[in-house]
């Protein structure tokens, strides 16, 4: 994602009620943060936050956590979120460290338009590599559920193989999400941009018991 530098990003992050600053101190107690036992869904690489914000509004009985690597991007997301959404928290972190922050607490992971890292030597950085799927093992609660959308055919094919190699089963799949029945689809910023360019959107939901 091309980054616009947000001047007062640190201030925005440090003063937001949505941001959790010392997230690793909460490992194992995220339900206390939300003060309920509702399921927790995590979006990795939430970008400017449209998807997770709309989900939080639409599904008040689910807790949503968005993680994002870059200060400027998460600061832009914070600026969009109105006060008073109780089922949403954000963390500025690299997904690489996810095992330090959650312990068998996550019910679903969303990967929306993740960076494709096309070069073979960067394979381990892809969020659907065995490297990351292994990391996710320790954060998932019971069922392991991942929902992925991308416009990148190579990343999609790679991910299907990786899911299969890591014992995930396909539950739903679309090779053209916007032409299929997708009434309850919530668009991300990238999705909106790509579909305006007539790019096909690929979607898959996988599960591991
Ligand atoms: C291509 S953008 C997609 C943003 C958003 N999900 C969307 O669909 O509009 C990928 C986002 O993932 C973030 N990201 C990439 N790798 C990450 C990682 N390892 N941990 C956390 N965020 C990451 C990037 O900073 C960027 O904001």
The CATH number for 73's domain is 3.40.50.150
Q: How many domains does the chain have?
A: 1
- Rounded CA-CA distance 99/148 in Å is 20
Domain for residue 123, yes or no? yes
Report how far residue 167's alpha carbon sits from residue 206's, in angstroms, rounded to the nearest whole number: 10
Q: Is residue 91 part of a domain?
A: yes
Mutate which of 5, 9, 69 to test ligand 1's pocket (most atoms within 8 Å of Cβ)?
69
CA distance 15 to 171: 40
| Residue matched to tokens 């939080």 | 56
For atom 23 of ligand 1, the residue with the nearest CA is: 45
SS3 at position 74: helix
Return the residue matching tokens 């991942």: 146
CB 23 within 8 A of CB 101: yes
Secondary structure of residue 94 in the 3-state scheme: coil
> Does the C-beta of 113 come closer than 6 Å to ligand 1?
yes
Residues 110, 60, 79, 89, Cα dihedral to 10°: -60
SS3 state of residue 1: coil
Whether ligand 1 lies within 6 angstroms of the CB of 188 is answered as yes
DSSP-derived secondary structure for 149-164: EES-HHHHHHHHHHHH
The answer to whether residue 4 is domain-embedded is no
User: Does the beta carbon of 193 sit less than 6 angstroms from any atom of ligand 1?
Assistant: no
| Structural domain range at position 196 | 9-208
Domain contains 193 = yes
pLDDT tens-digit profile, the chain (209 residues): 556 788 899 999 999 999 999 999 999 999 999 999 999 999 999 999 999 999 999 999 999 999 999 999 999 999 999 999 999 999 999 999 999 999 999 999 999 999 999 999 999 999 999 999 999 999 999 989 999 999 999 999 999 999 999 999 999 999 999 999 788 999 999 999 999 999 999 999 999 99
Residue 2 lies in a domain: no
117 lines ligand 1 (CB under 6 A): no
Rg (CA), the chain: 16
**Sheet with 202-208: strands ordered across:** 88-92, 63-68, 40-44, 108-112, 144-150, 202-208, 169-174
In a domain, 157, yes or no: yes
């Amino acid at each position: 994602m091309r980054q616009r530098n947000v001047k007062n990003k640190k201030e925005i992050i440090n003063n937001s009620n949505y941001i959790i600053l010392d997230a690793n101190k909460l490992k194992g107690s995220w339900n206390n943060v939300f003060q309920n036992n509702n399921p927790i869904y995590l979006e990795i690489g939430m970008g400017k936050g449209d998807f997770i914000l709309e989900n939080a509004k639409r599904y008040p009985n689910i807790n949503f956590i968005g993680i994002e690597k870059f200060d400027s991007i998460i600061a832009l997301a914070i600026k969009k979120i109105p006060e008073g959404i109780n089922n949403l928290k954000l963390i500025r972190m690299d997904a690489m460290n996810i095992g330090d922050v959650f312990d068998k607490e996550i019910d679903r992971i969303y990967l929306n338009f993740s960076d494709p890292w096309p070069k073979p030597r960067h394979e381990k950085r892809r969020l659907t590599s065995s490297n990351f799927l292994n990391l996710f093992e320790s954060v998932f609660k019971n069922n392991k559920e991942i929902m992925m959308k991308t416009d990148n055919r190579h990343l999609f094919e790679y991910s299907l193989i990786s899911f299969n190699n890591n014992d995930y089963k396909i539950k739903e799949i679309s090779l053209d999400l916007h032409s299929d029945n997708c009434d309850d689809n919530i668009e991300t910023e990238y999705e909106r941009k790509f579909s305006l360019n007539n790019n096909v959107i690929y979607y898959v939901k996988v599960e591991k018991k």
